Homo-oligomer: A and B are copies of this chain.
């Protein structure tokens, strides 16, 4: 049997974003010696417009090709780890939009949250946890909060500068892998 697949969702699409570097580190750290397979899923590649389905997603029957494509992609994963910056004490619009587009694709699937910000992004994590619960996902009990100053994004060598900042949180990401593994068992 092939291992369950976890999408590590890159939840910011801004220019000069550090989100792909953080998500790559999360995927490698969580996937090390894991029974799960972690893959990056970049919302910049998914490239959705603002929610434009005529009917509520819970009713299904998507009319737009971009929604059907997103439905197939999201539906192909067994679990999700959402990686996102905190903006103004909340979650990024691009991530909420991608979540709001679908419904059945999320239901009952395990989900973890990794936020970053000046103070770890705990407020965004709490808000997103509530949204994922509203979508009937089964969330890992503890979000991973990464204290990353915005100046890290200005650097040319994002990954190199980030690693020493992220390293102390490796154990928390390993706990996230354990939580997702348990939820998938």
Query: Contact residues of A with B, CB < 8 Å?
Result: 13-16, 50-56, 87-94, 96-97, 99-100, 123, 127, 130-131, 133-135, 150
Contacts and interface: CB of A to CB of B under 8 A. Distances in A.
A52 B94 CA distance: 11
A171 to B, nearest CB: 29
A100 B87 contact: yes
B88 A97 contact: no
Contacts of A96: 87, 90-93, 96
Q: Which of A51, A53, A93 has the most CB of B within 10 A?
A: A93
Given A92-B100, A93-B97, A127-B130, 20 more contacts: A14-B51, A15-B52, A15-B54, A50-B93, A51-B87, A51-B93, A51-B94, A87-B96, A87-B100, A88-B99, A88-B100, A88-B131, A89-B131, A90-B96, A90-B127, A90-B131, A91-B96, A92-B96, A93-B94, A123-B134
